[in-house]
Amino acid sequence: MVPSESGAKSIVRDHLSRIMQALQGSAAVSYILDSRYRLIYCNPAWDSFARSNGAPQLTSEAVAGSDLFDVIPDVLKAVYSAAFREVLSTGLVWEQSYECSSPTLFRMFRMRIHLLKPQNGFLVTNALVFERSHPKVAESDPNTYVDGDGIITICAHCRCSRRVDSPAQWDFVPEYLRLRRGPAMNVSHGLCPVCRIYFYPLH
Boundaries of domain holding 52: 5-133
Does some domain include residue 99? yes
Asked if pLDDT for residue 52 goes beyond 90, the answer is: no
Q: Is residue 203 part of a domain?
A: no
Indicate if 165 and 115 belong to the same structural domain: no
Same domain, 101 and 183: no
The answer to whether residues 123 and 161 belong to one domain is no
The bridge status of strand 105-116 relative to strand 121-133 is antiparallel
B/e letters for 94-107, b = 16+ CB within 10 Å, e = fewer, are bebebbbbbbeebe
At residue 1, does pLDDT exceed 70?
no
| Residue 166 falls inside a structural domain | yes
Give yes or no: residues 127 and 166 share one domain: no
Q: Are residues 122 and 167 in the same domain?
A: no
6 contact partners, CB below 8 Å, separation of at least 6? none
Among 80, 112, 133, give the residue marking a domain's end: 133
CATH of the domain at 98: 3.30.450.20
Provide the domain count of the chain.
Answer: 2
CA–CA dist 56, 142 (Å, integer): 28
pLDDT, one tens digit per residue, over 117-131 is 888 899 999 999 999
Kindly state the average pLDDT of the residues 19-46.
96
* Structure confidence by residue, pLDDT tens digits, 149-187: 889 999 999 989 999 989 899 998 888 876 544 555 688
Condensed to tens digits (0 to 9), the pLDDT of residues 58-74 reads 999 999 999 999 999 99
Helices (H), 53-168: 60-63, 74-90, 142-145
State the burial class of residue 92 (Cβ atoms within 10 Å of its Cβ: 0-12, 13-18, 19+): exposed
Distance CA 41, CA 19 (A): 11
Task: Determine the Cα–Cα distance for residues 36 and 91; give it in Å rounded to an integer.
Answer: 17
Domain boundary among 91, 116, 133: 133
* Same domain (yes/no): 62, 154: no
CB–CB of 75/189 below 8 Å?
Answer: yes
- Claim to verify: residue 78 and residue 173 sit in the same structural domain: no
Residues 70 and 166 in one domain: no
**144, 135 Cβ separation under 8 angstroms:** no
- Annotate 39-75 with DSSP letters as a single string: EEEE-HHHHHHHHHTT-GGGSHHHHTT-BGGGSS-HH
d(CA 81, CA 15): 26
